[in-house]
Amino acid sequence: MTTNPVILRMGVPSGRRIEPAALSFLEGCGMRVRKESDRQLSAGIAGFPGVVVFLQRARDIVTQVTDGDLDIGLTGIDFVEEYGVEGDDMIMLDEDLGFSSGDLVVAVPDGWIDVTSLVDLADVAIALRERGQLLRVATSYPRLAQRFLHEKGITHFTVVPMDGGVEAAPGAGFADVIVELTVSGVSLKENRLKVLRHAVVMRTQACLIGNRRALASNPDKREVTRRILELIDARGQAQQYFSVTANLRASSEDDVARRLLASPATRGRTGPTVARVYSAEGTTEPNGGFWYAATVIVRSRDLQEAVDHFRAVGGSGISAVQVRYLFDERSRRFDALAAELGR
């Protein structure tokens, strides 16, 4: 049995919530992670020999990519902001992969009826200080929490770092307020917490990062990364488009094109593709015309209008299929990476 040499080490976040989303995203982009058991912490990607996937905590992926233990990795923008170091070897490859979004917020017990804004919270912090106490802020994001509160003029507090279970801290008496990530708000409600007005520290989503030094110095790593970025690019673009095909009877290809170009909805991205249809009954219709198949790539928002125009100009057998991948002449993500690396 031969083993492919390791070319690229890729981090994928583990965990009950984010791991299924990350694996589903990669599979949707044509990169199925071959994981044989739930406990398996390393795996391969079908069609990508030499790529090894390591399942790690999302926050750890930031430091591992920065340190060069991983070449690229999926993580969250929130963890990049919390654990990233300005001027380090980490480089952003894609800041929004389109999944695992949420808000990092400041929340207080819902029993604090008179506290609805950050101004009110600042007053609470001052009142506690006058009694010789500090406002206790529980969070998994000490750096972001401290920076945000200072920016909002709240300086009299102490951070209570926690690794999970942050929402329970006020009820358990460990803290007064929290700064934590919320997706649906259900956990906050279950723990009788409310989000203050204008208290979103940041909006976050999954992103892709890489190690600058590894990608700049190793062309093999760079080439595999190009392929990965191409698929992400193509999948992301495709989600906005449908491929619409219909049969039309006309005197020529130009006749079909003229009819379709008359409407913005059926002009598509670059115009229609038209081809003769050859049937078993012969190529010529009784009226001297021919059957043609016309295909256009249209935006999702223009789909119904495109179908209506196809019908109006004599289209039949109209089919619309969600485009799976849409490759441009070049990958904008890889071009951005090459420019960043000076390649």
Domain range list for the chain: 8-100+205-238, 102-203, 241-322
Contact 78, 104 (CB under 8 A): yes
pLDDT of res. 13:
96
For residue 263, give the DSSP letter: S
Residue (of 292, 239, 299) closest to 269 by Cα position: 299
CATH class of 8-100+205-238: alpha beta
Q: What is the band of 282 on the pLDDT scale with cuts at 50, 70, 90?
A: low
Tell me how long the chain is.
343
- In CATH, the architecture of 241-322 is 2-Layer Sandwich (3.30)
How far, CA to CA in Å, does 22 sit from each of 18, 202, 211, 326, 331?
6, 21, 20, 21, 22
**pLDDT band at 2, cuts 50/70/90?**
very low
Q: What is the mean pLDDT of the chain?
A: 92
Position 5 scores a pLDDT of 87
Q: Could you give the CA distance from residue 185 to residue 183 in angstroms, rounded to a whole number?
A: 6
159-168 average pLDDT score: 94
User: What are the tens digits of pLDDT across the range 187-237?
Assistant: 999 999 999 999 999 999 999 999 999 999 999 999 999 999 999 999 999
Report the pLDDT value the prediction gives residue 193, as an integer from 0 to 100: 97
Beta-carbon contacts of 332 under 8 Å, excluding residues fewer than 6 positions away, are 233
Give the domain 102-203 fold.
D-Maltodextrin-Binding Protein; domain 2 (3.40.190)
pLDDT (average), residues 4-24: 92
How far apart, in whole angstroms, are the C-alpha atoms of residue 127 and residue 207? Answer: 40
Query: Distance between CA 313 and CA 334 in Å, rounded?
Result: 41
**Amino acid letter for position 41:** L
Is-same-fold flag (102-203; 241-322)?
Answer: no
Q: Alpha-carbon distance 199 to 104, whole Å?
A: 9
Angle in degrees, 0-180, between the axes of helices 219-238 and 332-341, rounded to the nearest 10: 150
Judge whether residue 1 has pLDDT over 50: no
Q: What is the pTM of this model?
A: 0.87
- What mean pLDDT do residues 85-90 have? 78
Provide φ and ψ at 216, rounded to 5°. Answer: -75, -35
- What's the pLDDT score for residue 280? 66
State pLDDT tens for residues 37-83.
777 788 999 999 999 999 999 999 999 999 999 999 999 999 999 99
Tell the residue number behind the tokens 């790593």, with chain if given. Answer: 221
